[in-house]
Copies of this chain bind each other. A is one copy, B any other.
């Protein structure tokens, strides 16, 4: 692996040392994880260097931007990969900074809907095209047909993961 890739992103090559004879399933999983880690590492670094914003904060703004009716803390916690406690902390800070508003109609704080404020929307709209350009650059080596094929295969994989979950093939079940 070229040294600058390592230096730019701590994202690991999880396939390191994986033998040729290792199972196809394991190779797919580790290559998928490697790609996800590499992209996430570069997006994270870009957000920090360019906008001085953390990835979880950006992700929270992105989810709210896609939800015109706002989202509750529970919905945000489901959509982001963070615990309720972490979402609360993130949201509190964004509310304090005026980027996010919390509707106070309900006295149950968990059911209060969060929305982007106009200032939050403006801030996010500055970041969106730059973020998209990074993703475009990282995927530039694939043509449209390959991207469409990858999208289809990933849809199938997502369906497979859900089916395995629903079949009760719980990771905790070793039988």
Contacts and interface: CB of A to CB of B under 8 A. Distances in A.
Contact of A157 (B8, B40, B82, B142): B142
B148 A5 contact: no
B134 A163 contact: no
Interface residues of A, number: 90
Contact of A50 (B18, B147, B164, B171): B171
Contacts of A164: 42, 137-138, 140-141
A59 B83 CA distance: 23
Task: Please tell me how many copies of the chain the complex holds.
Answer: 2
User: Which has the most chain B C-beta neighbours within 10 Å: A42, A146, A151, A172?
Assistant: A172
Contacts of A135: 23, 25-26, 29
Given A12-B81, A28-B154, A146-B156, 16 more contacts: A12-B79, A13-B79, A17-B67, A18-B66, A24-B147, A29-B39, A31-B158, A32-B150, A33-B40, A35-B157, A41-B81, A46-B171, A50-B174, A133-B174, A146-B153, A153-B153
